[in-house]
Amino acid sequence: MNLQIQHIAKEFHNGTKALADVDFSVSQGEFVSVIGPSGAGKTTLFRILNGMMDCTRGQVLLDDKRFHSLKGRKKRELQKSIATIYQDFCLVENSTCLKNVLTAGLPDMGFFQGVFGLYGKSRKKEALKLLDRVGLLEKADEPVKNLSGGQKQRVAIARALMRHPAILLADEPVASLDPVTGRQILGLLKSIHEADGVTILMNSHNLDFSKEFSERLIGLKNGEVVFDGKAADLTDSITRQIYNKKDTMPENKRGVAYE
């Protein structure tokens, strides 16, 4: 699936401009990193891409199908092909790993099956297989709250894979993990990318990780794209320009973007 982001902008009700003009496209099978300082609009961009927020201008096309400004069932239909993993995992802490992975089956199920959690044998089998793939099979019946951060992110990855996503959005996937665990998680993502050919769009604070694991970097600054190219083409002067503290938005704007 090709993702086209055409000149999107986002303005919040309080007048804060999170995105000014973002325009790029991602084709099937790419591993793209979005980099940029705090407040550049990375998280806002990702929330627009997974349909949890609407852009104020511009459009998002998924294989030429309109993705933005949809409501209800139509929006959910398109959201089904996009999976997201988050900085803070967003798992149901009290439920077991297996149940968390299984929740990814819900969008395809009818209302009553969904409410009562009747996932069926084949889904359970697949969920266990995915837990095995991320190396957590023996923790399947363990509540998520007993796991370490890295293990939680593995469960979140298994949940995302359960959706067979066309695009996997990774919103700061390793920001709350220590560097060693973070590297392992990114390695896992990379291996999944190579084995399944899934498109990955990652958003990261850590420039070194982004350079090392992704094929293409997109630099975002003040809500605009200022760099788009291979990791090798990212010179020091461009990096400095992207992360130039002077022009960044104040820190608190980031909090607004999370709302």
Partner 1 sequence: MNDNKTSKYSFVIQFAVPVSFLILFFLAANFTGCDLVTFWKRRSHLTDLVVDMIPPDFSYIQKILLPLFYTIQMSVTGTVLGTFFALVLSPFGAANLEFPAVMRRILRIVIQILRSFPALILALTATFLFGLGTFAGTFAITLYTFAIMTKLTYEDASAAGKKAYQALRAMGTSKYTAYIHGILPEIIPGFLTNALYLLETNVRHSSILGYVGAGGIGLLLNEKISWLEYDKVGAILLMLFLTVCVIEYFSRYLAALIRKERMIKKEQARLLLLFLAALFLICTFTLSPPDFSRTSPQTLRNMFAGFLHPDWSFFFSAKKDGLGYLLLETVCIAFIGTVIGAIVSAPLAFLNTKRFVPAPVSVFFNLVIMAIRSVPFLVYGLVFIRISGPGAFTGVLTLAVCSIGLLTKRFTEALDALDLRPYHALLAMGGRPLPAICHSVLPQLKPVFTSIILYRFDVNIREASVLGLVGAGGIGAPLIFSMNQYAWEKAGAIMLGLILLVWVIDMVSEKTGAGN
Positions in the binding site for partner 1 (CB under 8 A): 50-52, 75-80, 82-84, 86, 88-95, 99, 103-104, 106-107, 109, 111, 114-115, 117, 163
Q: What is the CA radius of gyration of the chain?
A: 18
| Beta carbon of residue 12, minimum distance to partner 1 (angstroms, whole number) | 17
| Nearer to partner 1 among residue 84 and residue 222 (C-beta) | 84
| Nearer to partner 1 among residue 84 and residue 214 (C-beta) | 84
Q: What span, in angstroms and rounded, lies between the C-alpha atoms of 165 and 79?
A: 10
| Beta carbon of residue 114, minimum distance to partner 1 (angstroms, whole number) | 4
Report residue 128 as tokens.
């266990």
| Nearer to partner 1 among residue 145 and residue 230 (C-beta) | 145
| Beta carbon of residue 231, minimum distance to partner 1 (angstroms, whole number) | 28
| Nearer to partner 1 among residue 107 and residue 197 (C-beta) | 107
| Nearer to partner 1 among residue 130 and residue 249 (C-beta) | 130
| Beta carbon of residue 142, minimum distance to partner 1 (angstroms, whole number) | 12
| Beta carbon of residue 217, minimum distance to partner 1 (angstroms, whole number) | 24
